[in-house]
Amino acid sequence: MRSARQRPSLQLLQFLLPVIPCLFLVLPPASGQDSAAEGTVFRGDKAEVSVTVRDNSGEAISAPASVKLLKEGMPIDQKEASHGRAFFILRSLGDYTVVVSATGYKSAQKDVSVPVGVKAEVDIYLQRESSTGDNIGVHGRPALTPKAKDALDKGLQALSENKLAEAEKHVSEAVRLAPGHPDVLFVQGVLYLSLYNWVQAQGVLEKAAQMDPSNARVLSALGMALTDQGKYDEAIPPLEKSLQMETGGWETHWALGKSYYYRQQYDQALKASQQALVGSNGKAPQIELLVAQSLTAVGRYEDAAQALRGFLKNHGDRSEAATARRWLDGLVKNGKIR
């Protein structure tokens, strides 16, 4: 049996993109994270960012701390804080992000704008890790500048509305503003999936996975791009890893089931395709064809026939109905069912 080519859908976007608002959040000054005592001291034509890392009590921390300075989402300098203090001489004016991490503390970040040659004082408050280890966020994750985040937000909105030309425009702008940022690469990969550009999707999603290997949705999208190209051996590891890290969406199970099937791992294909069918809640009835394929492959011919008859009864007007009828006729012709 040959299955119809899997196509991306709005359901794919609904699975892959809900995490985006969390990933792309550029944290504003907030109670409990950091607060600024921003003053300026003239330094001639030079601009400087002076960072003080404090604990919840307001005292400068004594623990070693790594302080990164980012511009347009990309790291440009890094210092080890001495007694909670770090200083950066800027090569150019503009918007920056300071990201701080220290052992035993949750990482934190803050945006700072330096429009003229001044010394900007930035206080960042770190919270201690809880005893249960439920740290939130990605350690030292690069932050997006407001302009890059705005472009990406607009691209995501257009993607969610299936306005692909508009999405491409805004995502391209985000790529220009923050090239190489893992979150931007991820959304660019999802856009390519929606445009059926499997090779381009694979390329950018592989880069995103290298930079953010613990992101389940990046791995899922990469696995889908590989599956759509028929690279089933390569698709299985990222799809399996994605599902190990979180429950995952039905699209992930569907891609994994298809990859298992063409790798002749039929028992696993049946399990994954059945999970995809249940999880889809009727959004993708064509998954029933993969279930029928897998049932046939494991010798459960009557069950396969029942699945095909059910598909024809409920979805006889779909384009896949001709395939279902052909497969059902084949089971009869080959004496597999009565």
Q: Report the C-alpha gap between 187 and 215 in whole angstroms.
A: 13
In a domain, 89, yes or no: yes
Question: In this predicted structure, what is the pLDDT of residue 34?
Answer: 34
Q: Does position 227 have pLDDT exceeding 60, yes or no?
A: yes
List pLDDT tens digits, range 45-91. Answer: 578 999 999 876 567 888 888 999 988 878 888 999 888 899 999 98
Q: Report the C-alpha gap between 221 and 202 in whole angstroms.
A: 9
**Residue 88 C-beta-side C-alpha neighbours within 13 Å:** 29
Which of 125, 159, 188 delimits the end of a domain? Answer: 125
Clarify whether residues 195 and 116 are in a common domain. Answer: no
The model's confidence at residue 19, banded by pLDDT at 50, 70 and 90, is very low
What strands, in cross-sheet order, belong to the sheet with 40-42?
40-42, 118-125, 47-54, 85-90
Clarify whether residues 113 and 209 are in a common domain. Answer: no
Instruction: Find the distance separating the first CA and the last CA of the chain, reported in whole Å.
Output: 19
DSSP, collapsed to helix, strand or coil, labels residue 130 as coil
Clarify whether residues 151 and 93 are in a common domain. Answer: no
In a domain, 30, yes or no: no
Could you identify the residue written with the tokens 């052992």? Answer: 103
Q: What is the CATH number of the domain that holds 298?
A: 1.25.40.10
Q: What is the CATH number of the domain that holds 104?
A: 2.60.40.10
Instruction: List the structure tokens of 123.
Output: 């206080």
Clarify whether residues 45 and 16 are in a common domain. Answer: no
List pLDDT tens digits, range 298-329. Answer: 999 999 999 999 999 999 999 999 999 999 99
Instruction: List the structure tokens of 71.
Output: 């511009």
In a domain, 338, yes or no: no
Question: In this predicted structure, what is the pLDDT of residue 328?
Answer: 96
In a domain, 304, yes or no: yes
Could you tell me the residue range of the domain that residue 187 belongs to? Answer: 10-24+146-333
CA dihedral of 207, 159, 283, 197, whole degrees rounded to 10:
-50
Residue pair 53/100 in contact by the 8 Å Cβ criterion = yes
List pLDDT tens digits, range 261-289. Answer: 999 999 999 999 999 999 998 989 999 99
Clarify whether residues 108 and 217 are in a common domain. Answer: no
The model's pTM is: 0.62
The domain total for the chain is 2
In a domain, 133, yes or no: no
The model's confidence at residue 210, banded by pLDDT at 50, 70 and 90, is confident
- Name the least confident of 13-22, 32-41, 96-105, 248-257: 32-41
Clarify whether residues 152 and 260 are in a common domain. Answer: yes
